């Protein structure tokens, strides 16, 4: 997009909602007729500091919606995973181990997040 043709009168609410929803900066820029770098600077907090509060609130709302949706499906997912590791299953051991790890991730919220629970670069096994 030529630099002089960018929209300087964009819809701030649409911009906040799109950033909070995690859409790509290039897609937001195309949809709102803005520059990609402008969207990136706003999203990362380097520009339009007045929008950072509404973006943070909208992100929390989106995250809560995602969590509510996940709660609706977690019971069925756990039942399916438990069937995979049951004694009468025909699943191969590798599938059973993966299912067991998925159950732990679902049941222990902090497992798998950054920090002491995850091995650092020095303790990770090399890729084959």
Which position has the higher pLDDT, 20 or 109?
Answer: 20
Q: At what angle do helices 25-32 and 36-43 cross, to 10 degrees?
A: 120
pLDDT number for residue 83: 80
Inter-residue contact 49 to 59 (CB < 8 Å): no
pLDDT number for residue 1: 45
pLDDT number for residue 92: 86
pLDDT digit string, tens, across residues 59-116: 999 999 888 887 887 788 778 777 877 777 788 888 888 888 877 777 766 554 444 4
Reduced to 3 states, what is the DSSP secondary structure of residue 111? coil
> What mean pLDDT is predicted for residues 41-63?
95
pLDDT number for residue 6: 66
pLDDT number for residue 95: 84
């Amino acid at each position: 997009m030529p630099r002089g043709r960018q929209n300087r009168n964009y819809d701030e609410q649409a911009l906040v909602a799109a950033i909070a929803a995690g859409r790509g900066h290039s897609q937001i820029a195309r949809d709102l007729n803005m520059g990609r770098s402008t969207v990136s600077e706003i999203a990362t907090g380097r520009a339009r500091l007045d929008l950072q509060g509404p973006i943070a609130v909208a992100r929390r709302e989106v995250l809560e919606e995602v969590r509510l949706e996940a709660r609706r499906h977690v019971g069925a997912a756990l039942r399916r995973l438990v069937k995979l590791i049951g004694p009468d299953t025909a699943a191969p051991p590798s599938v059973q181990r993966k299912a067991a790890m998925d159950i732990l991730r679902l049941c222990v919220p902090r497992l798998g997040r950054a920090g002491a629970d995850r091995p650092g670069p020095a303790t990770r096994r090399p890729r084959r």
